[in-house]
Structures are given as structure tokens and as C-alpha cells.
């Protein structure tokens, strides 16, 4: 999150708290999930005169919206349906920001996309041209203009592009502002409850939760990364696959960057699928009993990266591996266990000794292989 001096100096107006309510017997619409999406859906449904019941298993903002950076970007959208929606969304955000004022910490700060090389700059120029044709404002920046826009950037960069419509908002405040807006109509209830199933009934479905049932003709799945699991519980299918993002929060610093600044390669990374290709785990206990875990039960997350001084490759050398409900922490015996086999197999990878711990207790040693970090592996070969 980029903190501006203004925000630090003058704390913005607090958003009105939303009182927790009992689960109603019925509603015109039930929204599962009180993150940014569920809150916005609730605000717009309530504005159409519907009685809206929002449920969340943790209460509002128990998921991703409490961790996001809040950028509202056109710059990272490729022409197509997502860009069309983003253009409409930017307009709705401007309307909301006008009504909510400082309460949502909205900033129309603009985005500066930086090219690190001439080929990147050429690709960025092509993307910006396509985006302009779709209605986005984008201006090319040569090396001098880039430096003028963001004087703290490293020297020697060839240029970039400026996107004046890129904005930023505080996502938690924005979600609460939407819920407050819905609550102000007198037609919103927010209940801490977990959706577990759906009973189809004539006229209105009955959503089953751990706190009872609510009947409604409309049920909205706004469970974010858990949307696929919620759909499954409700007898439906939604191919939502979670993606991991990292954010570094610093202590408040003087303003160093004036815009949203990112390298142009990020556009490709956001557009990429980036999900799990394959995952599987088998655990053998000391008696030799095997437990098998399916892809949905296995998760790898990086806790620390190490960059090789020889190849410049970054490896997630310290990580957490989840198998079902159990978390294993892997830590390298030493960081530098990179193998450069460019002269034989062609691969550059990391393989080596790690310690394994569970619930803070050392449980053994392991051998970890990390491939595909130097360059993508072609799985068809």
C-alpha cells in the first residue's frame, strides 16, 4: 500500500459500523461473502428495493479484500471483455468516491508502467495503442518524461507509459462504505454464518447455513477465492482457482512514488492463468499407512525467496506445504543449492537439503527440488 502524506496527516472519516443481525427467515436476495464484491452487490441490490441478507462465515472482510492493494487499473487490462468491464467499473468508482468522500481514501493518482528494456518498451507501445482504441487514455513516456514523472526510478530506463485513469482505493473502507450504503436503506442484514448447502424449493431456494436456513429467490455467490467450494456445496460448478499475491507493508515513509508504478511485464503476469498445473501428495506414517491428497488439498506457499548471484534466478527456498489440514514448514539447510546443468540437460534448478517442521516442532529432514524458476519448463518435451 502506498501511503500518501495527506492520508497519514488527516485520518479520513470513519465508515459507519454495520450491526450484526440474526439470520432472517427470508430475503429477496442472499449474498454469500462480505468482501468487496459481496458488499458492492448488496449495495446495488438494496438500492433496487430488495431485502438483502449478506452472510459471511467470519463477518465482513474476513477474506482477500482485507489484504488487497486497492488499485483500480485500466493499464493492466488487455483489450476484451475485462477491459470493457474495467472501464465501466472505473466510472462507478468515481461516482462512489464522490459520494463517500475521504471515507474510502480514493485517489485518482494515475499509473506509470515502466519498460525495463527496448523490447519491453516496443511491446508496451503496441499494448497502449490497442488500449487507446478501446477507450483508455494512455500517453507514451520517453526516458526523460519517465524520469520527470517518477524521479526515484533507477537511471537508464528507456521509457514507459502514463495512464491517467488508474486509481486507488482503500478496499476495506470501500467494502464497508458499500455495506453502510445498503444498511442506510433499512433493507440489509449482515449475519455471521457459513453457507453449507442449498435446498431447492418451489418459488425460493433455502440456503442452508451453520446458523439455520434462509429462503430467497436469488442467491449470489460472492465468496471470492472460495467461490468454487461454495458452488460445489450448493450443487453447482464454478471454475474459480485461487491465486496467491504478496504485499509488503512498510512503516509510513515519505512519499517516494507519485503514481501507481509497475514494470510492464506485470501485465502479462496478471493476464496469465498462473494456477496449479498438477499437485499431489502422499504421506506415509511411521507404521507405513498411506494417506493420499488430491490437488485441491495440496498447497505450496513461499515464505522467503533467495536470488542466485550467478543466474539471477529467484527460488522460494523457504516454504509452507499444506496437505489437508496439516502445515509443513520447509527451510533450506543453506540458501545456495542451485545447480547449473546448462552444459548437460540444459536445466538450471535448485535442489537440496531442507529441514521439515510441523506446528513449530522439527520432524525431520527432506530433499527439495525446485525447477522452472530459471525459465519455464516445456511439459510437452
Ligand X SMILES: Cc1cc2nc3c(=O)[nH]c(=O)nc-3n(C[C@H](O)[C@H](O)[C@H](O)COP(=O)(O)OP(=O)(O)OC[C@H]3O[C@@H](n4cnc5c(N)ncnc54)[C@H](O)[C@@H]3O)c2cc1C
Residues at the interface with ligand X (CB under 6 A) = 32-38, 55-58, 62-65, 67-71, 171, 194-195, 222-226, 230, 245-247
Task: State the nearest-atom distance from the C-beta of 248 to ligand X, in Å.
Answer: 9
Q: Which is nearer to ligand X, 322 or 366 (CB)?
A: 322
| Cβ count near 352 (within 10 Å) | 18
Q: Which is nearer to ligand X, 62 or 366 (CB)?
A: 62
Q: Which is nearer to ligand X, 32 or 46 (CB)?
A: 32
Q: Which is nearer to ligand X, 78 or 347 (CB)?
A: 78
What is the bridge-based pairing of β-strands 52-56 and 188-192?
A: parallel
Q: Which is nearer to ligand X, 135 or 245 (CB)?
A: 245
Q: Which is nearer to ligand X, 194 or 305 (CB)?
A: 194
Task: State the nearest-atom distance from the C-beta of 266 to ligand X, in Å.
Answer: 11
If DSSP codes are grouped into helix, strand and coil, which group holds residue 203?
coil
Mention every residue, 6+ apart, whose C-beta is less than 8 A from residue 259.
Answer: 109, 110, 111, 112, 149, 150, 162, 166
The DSSP-derived string for 285-326 is -TT--EEEE-GGGEEEEEEEEEE-TTT--EEEEEEEEEETTE
Cβ(225)–Cβ(64) under 8 Å? Answer: yes
Long-range pairs of 372-380 with CB within 8 A, sequence gap ≥ 24 = 373/313, 373/314, 373/315, 373/316, 373/349, 374/311, 374/313, 374/347, 374/348, 374/349, 375/348, 377/347, 379/277
Task: State the nearest-atom distance from the C-beta of 232 to ligand X, in Å.
Answer: 10
Task: State the nearest-atom distance from the C-beta of 260 to ligand X, in Å.
Answer: 8
Task: State the nearest-atom distance from the C-beta of 341 to ligand X, in Å.
Answer: 34
If DSSP codes are grouped into helix, strand and coil, which group holds residue 196?
strand
Q: Which is nearer to ligand X, 73 or 321 (CB)?
A: 73
Task: State the nearest-atom distance from the C-beta of 186 to ligand X, in Å.
Answer: 23
Instruction: Return the DSSP state at 258.
Output: S
If phi > 0 it is left, if psi is from -120 to 50 it is alpha, else beta; for residue 49 that is: left
Task: State the nearest-atom distance from the C-beta of 327 to ligand X, in Å.
Answer: 19
Which alpha helices (H) appear in the chain, and where do they start and end? 5-9, 36-47, 81-100, 118-133, 143-149, 171-183, 227-233, 265-271
Mention every residue, 6+ apart, whose C-beta is less than 8 A from residue 8.
Answer: 252
Which residue, 83, 143, 70, 134, is CA-closest to 112? 143
**Residues listed for the chain:** 381
Task: State the nearest-atom distance from the C-beta of 63 to ligand X, in Å.
Answer: 3
Task: State the nearest-atom distance from the C-beta of 65 to ligand X, in Å.
Answer: 3
Q: Which is nearer to ligand X, 96 or 354 (CB)?
A: 96
Residue in the structure block whose three cell numbers are 528507456: 158
Q: Which is nearer to ligand X, 53 or 354 (CB)?
A: 53
Cβ(160)–Cβ(141) under 8 Å? Answer: yes
Amino acid at each position: 500500500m502506498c501511503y500518501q502524506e495527506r492520508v497519514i496527516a488527516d485520518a479520513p472519516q470513519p465508515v459507519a459500523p454495520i450491526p450484526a443481525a440474526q439470520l432472517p427467515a427470508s430475503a429477496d436476495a442472499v449474498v454469500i461473502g462480505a468482501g468487496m464484491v459481496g458488499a458492492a452487490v448488496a449495495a446495488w441490490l438494496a438500492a433496487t428495493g430488495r431485502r438483502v441478507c449478506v452472510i459471511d462465515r467470519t463477518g465482513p472482510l474476513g477474506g482477500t479484500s482485507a489484504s488487497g492493494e486497492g488499485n483500480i487499473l485500466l493499464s493492466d487490462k488487455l483489450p476484451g471483455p475485462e477491459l470493457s468491464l474495467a472501464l465501466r467499473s472505473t466510472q462507478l468508482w468515481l461516482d462512489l468516491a464522490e459520494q463517500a468522500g475521504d471515507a474510502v481514501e480514493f485517489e485518482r493518482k494515475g499509473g506509470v508502467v515502466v519498460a525495463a528494456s527496448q523490447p519491453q518498451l516496443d511491446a508496451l507501445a503496441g499494448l497502449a495503442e490497442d488500449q487507446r482504441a478501446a477507450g483508455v487514455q494512455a500517453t507514451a513516456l520517453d526516458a526523460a518524461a519517465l524520469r520527470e514523472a517518477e524521479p526515484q526510478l533507477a537511471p537508464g530506463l528507456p521509457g514507459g507509459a502514463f495512464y491517467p485513469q488508474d486509481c486507488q482505493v482503500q478496499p476495506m473502507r470501500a467494502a464497508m462504505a458499500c455495506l453502510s450504503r445498503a444498511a442506510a436503506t433499512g433493507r440489509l442484514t449482515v449475519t455471521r454464518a457459513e453457507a453449507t448447502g442449498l435446498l431447492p424449493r418451489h418459488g425460493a431456494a433455502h440456503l442452508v447455513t451453520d446458523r439455520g436456513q434462509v429462503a430467497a429467490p436469488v442467491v449470489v455467490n460472492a465468496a471470492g477465492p472460495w467461490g468454487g467450494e461454495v458452488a460445489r456445496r450448493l450443487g453447482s460448478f464454478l471454475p474459480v482457482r485461487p491465486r496467491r499475491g504478496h504485499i509488503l507493508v512498510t512503516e509510513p515513509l515519505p512519499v517516494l512514488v507519485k503514481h501507481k508504478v509497475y514494470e510492464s511485464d506485470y501485465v502479462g503476469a496478471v493476464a496469465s492463468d498462473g494456477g496449479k498445473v498438477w499437485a499431489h501428495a502422499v504421506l506415509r506414517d511411521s507404521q507405513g499407512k498411506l494417506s493420499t491428497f488430491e490437488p485441491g488439498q495440496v498447497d505450496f506457499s513461499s515464505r522467503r525467496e533467495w536470488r542466485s548471484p550467478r543466474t539471477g534466478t529467484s527460488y522460494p527456498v523457504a516454504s509452507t506445504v499444506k496437505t489437508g489440514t496439516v502445515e509443513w514448514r520447509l527451510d533450506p539447510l543453506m540458501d545456495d543449492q542451485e545447480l547449473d546443468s546448462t552444459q548437460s540437460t540444459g536445466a538450471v534448478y535448485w535442489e537440496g537439503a531442507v529441514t521439515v517442521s510441523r506446528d513449530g516442532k522439527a520432524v525431520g529432514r527432506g530433499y527439495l527440488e525446485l525447477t522452472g524458476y530459471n525459465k519455464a519448463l516445456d511439459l510437452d518435451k
